[in-house]
Amino acid sequence: MRLLIIEDNMELCDSMKIGLEKAGFQVDTAYAGLEGEEKAYAGSYDAVLLDLNLPDRDGLEILRFLRESDVAVPVLIITARDEIKERALGLDLGADDYITKPFQLLELRARIQAVVRRFHGRTNPRLCVGALTVNPASRTVEYNGTPVVLAAKEFDILEYLAMRHPAVVSMEEIAEHIYDERLDPSSSVLRVHLTMLRKELTQASGKPLLQNIRGKGYQLCVELI
């Protein structure tokens, strides 16, 4: 899951990035409002964590711009401001959640998961595709109740494919959501991770659960599950 943090306090921003990356998220950062606005508008994020007190552009103005531009990415406002009127305004402008500083990383992770889950129309915190169960909170996978051990990036790919099921997802979309902005576009690392994931799923289930739809992308095939 790929996140964008827009926060001008560099120490806090970097601390959040480190903590969230340890929890399995891919995280890009922006230390200024205009930079963050550009990244949020142009990027492919699963959620944006948006501070309000930014030196060059108010966070609420960024939120207004994104919603008026039909950017539907979930936005969590993270700020020291705690006035009821301002909180209501943020929610009215299209924020999906509001968390005040200081906060615990564990709560932030749970809020992110909940917001993304609502965005995709899910109520179950686990992703279930037939006999395959993906648990984003614990980063574990089971097939018919038996654990499937995956490397970190293999899990990230599977989580995204399960979130998008039954859609066929292109290589470009997968890369945008599971790697941060430092990924070399010419790198073959994604193909390697997809090959390993397909191998692990086939070994666990005895079936080719991950299908390459020629010319389109990849899909978890429920009819095979």
- Give one DSSP letter per residue of the chain, joined into a string: -EEEEE-S-HHHHHHHHHHHHHTT-EEEEESSHHHHHHHHHHS--SEEEE-S--SSS-HHHHHHHHHHTT----EEEEES---HHHHHHHHHTT-SEEEESS--HHHHHHHHHHHHHHHTT--SSSEEETTEEEETTTTEEEETTEEE---HHHHHHHHHHHHHTTS-B-HHHHHHHHS-TT--TT--HHHHHHHHHHHHHHHHHSS--EEEETTTEEEE-GGG-
Q: Which tens digits make up the pLDDT trace of 48-107?
A: 999 988 989 999 999 999 999 999 999 999 988 767 777 788 889 999 999 988 899 999
pLDDT band at 180 (very low <50, low <70, confident <90, very high): confident
pLDDT-derived band at 176 (thresholds 50, 70, 90) equals confident
- State the pLDDT at residue 55: 86
Domains and CATH numbers, the chain: 2-119 (3.40.50.2300), 127-224 (1.10.10.10)
Mean pLDDT of all residues in 178-190: 74
For residue 222, is pLDDT > 70?
no
pLDDT at 186 over 70: no
**pLDDT single digits (tens) 198-221:** 999 999 999 889 999 888 999 998
Residue 28 has pLDDT above 90, yes or no: yes
Assess whether pLDDT exceeds 50 at residue 225: no
The yes-or-no verdict on residue 191 having pLDDT over 60 is: yes
